[in-house]
């Protein structure tokens, strides 16, 4: 029994050292996780600006830093569901839209078809071909109250709230695109759905309403059809479109198959008007 006391003391010291080492290990792990998480969040909040500036710089004579500053002021330090479209008015002011008379192309539910066509044929200009439309196409962003950060994750989706930053942005620049429309304008609509002119679409709810007869002569609708087309130019919703047009704007509609558009886009020597 005389040797029990030193042995027990040694075991206690070993136990204490193990506990200390365990605590230190846990603290180190917490610090590492915090640092990694902090770097991840920082990268997430800053990754939009380089993309924005890189895309912007492809447009000559553009003050991209000024445009970026005006853009982020629309939503930083704000509830991401409280960003009405008017918040982007200063952005519109510094990144003005240049009208392309007789070449402006609107679309609804035909995004892939339209852009496949316009990329191969230099006939028309879509909203996504403009500076702001091109720079932010396919991106997501928002801010949060109490922060000057731009976030790209955790943002509300298109239908989560009406005044979210992305939806308000596209509504605002769509309105401006329609404001500067001039001459003969074209719209590609989907002939494979029951309502090609849907009242809830941006084209119907914003763009058509802002086409002005003092600038626009004709609206030419290209109704893109497939083998399973369910509508034609006599569709009831298209009659509603005619009623919505500003008095003085002439309306035309033509049914064009998607295969015909693809064939035409593969022959750039053909005149643009020969595609339909």
Q: Which two tokens stand for residue 195?
A: 């309502």
Q: Is residue 251 part of a domain?
A: yes
Whole-angstrom Cα distance, residue 156 to residue 163?
Answer: 10
Look at residue 26 and tell me whether its pLDDT is greater than 90: no
Query: Mean per-residue pLDDT for 222-237?
Result: 92
Query: Mean per-residue pLDDT for 167-189?
Result: 98
Q: Which of 222, 231, 228 has its CA nearest to residue 260? A: 222
Q: Is residue 25 part of a domain?
A: no
Q: Is residue 21 part of a domain?
A: no
Query: Mean per-residue pLDDT for 220-224?
Result: 97
Domain hosting residue 195, numbered range:
47-275
Label residue 215 exposed, middle or buried (CB < 10 Å: 0-12, 13-18, 19+): middle
- The predicted pLDDT at position 40 comes to 41
Considering the entire predicted model, what is its pTM?
Answer: 0.81
Query: Mean per-residue pLDDT for 114-141?
Result: 94
- The predicted pLDDT at position 15 comes to 56
Supply the mean pLDDT for the chain: 87
- The predicted pLDDT at position 264 comes to 87
pLDDT tens digit sequence for 134-149: 999 999 999 999 999 9
Residues carrying an active site annotation: 101, 182
Q: Is residue 41 part of a domain?
A: no
- pLDDT tier, 39 (very low <50, low <70, confident <90, very high otherwise): very low
Query: Please, what's the b/e burial string for 96-128 (b: 16 or more CB within 10 A of its CB; e: otherwise)?
Result: ebeebebbbbbbbbbeebbbebbeebebbbbbb
User: How many domains does one find in the chain?
Assistant: 1
Which domain CATH number covers 186?
1.20.82.10
- The predicted pLDDT at position 259 comes to 93
Q: Which two tokens stand for residue 4?
A: 């029990």
Query: Mean per-residue pLDDT for 251-262?
Result: 94
Query: Mean per-residue pLDDT for 196-205?
Result: 97
Q: Is residue 7 part of a domain?
A: no
Q: Is residue 18 part of a domain?
A: no
- The predicted pLDDT at position 272 comes to 73
The gap between the terminal CA atoms of the chain, to the nearest Å, is 106
Q: Which two tokens stand for residue 212?
A: 């002005």
- Number of alpha carbons in the 13 Å side-chain half-sphere of residue 183: 10
For residues 38 and 63, the model is more confident at 63
- The predicted pLDDT at position 17 comes to 59
- The predicted pLDDT at position 217 comes to 98
- The predicted pLDDT at position 36 comes to 42
- The predicted pLDDT at position 28 comes to 55
Q: Is residue 215 part of a domain?
A: yes
Query: Mean per-residue pLDDT for 5-27?
Result: 54
Q: Is residue 106 part of a domain?
A: yes
What residues does 224 pair with on adjacent strands? 190, 256
- The predicted pLDDT at position 271 comes to 76
Whole-angstrom Cα distance, residue 182 to residue 91?
Answer: 22
- The predicted pLDDT at position 238 comes to 98
- The predicted pLDDT at position 19 comes to 58
Q: Which two tokens stand for residue 71?
A: 């853009």
């Amino acid at each position: 029994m005389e040797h029990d006391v030193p042995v027990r003391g040694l075991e206690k010291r070993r136990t204490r050292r193990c506990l200390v080492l365990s605590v230190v290990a846990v603290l180190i792990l917490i610090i590492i996780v915090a640092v990694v998480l902090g770097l991840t969040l920082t990268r997430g909040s800053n990754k939009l600006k380089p993309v924005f500036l890189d895309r912007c710089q492809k447009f000559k004579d553009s003050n991209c830093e000024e445009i970026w500053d005006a853009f982020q002021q629309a939503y930083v330090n704000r509830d991401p569901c409280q960003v009405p479209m008017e918040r982007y008015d200063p952005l519109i002011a510094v990144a003005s839209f240049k009208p392309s008379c007789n070449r402006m192309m609107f679309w609804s539910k035909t995004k892939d078809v339209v852009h496949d066509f316009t990329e191969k044929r230099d006939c028309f200009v879509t909203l996504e071909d403009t500076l702001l439309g091109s720079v932010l196409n396919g991106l997501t962003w928002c801010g949060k109250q109490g922060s000057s950060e731009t976030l790209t994750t955790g943002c509300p989706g298109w239908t989560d709230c009406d005044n979210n930053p992305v939806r308000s942005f596209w509504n605002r620049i769509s309105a401006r695109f329609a404001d500067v429309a001039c001459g003969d304008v074209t719209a590609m609509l989907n002939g494979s759905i029951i309502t090609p002119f849907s009242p809830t679409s941006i084209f119907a709810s914003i763009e058509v309403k802002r086409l002005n007869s003092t600038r626009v002569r004709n609206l030419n609708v290209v109704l893109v059809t497939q083998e399973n087309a369910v509508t034609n130019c006599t569709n009831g919703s298209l009659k509603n479109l005619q009623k919505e047009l500003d008095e003085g704007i002439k309306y035309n509609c033509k049914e064009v198959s998607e295969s015909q558009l693809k064939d035409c886009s593969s022959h750039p020597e053909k005149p643009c008007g020969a595609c339909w």
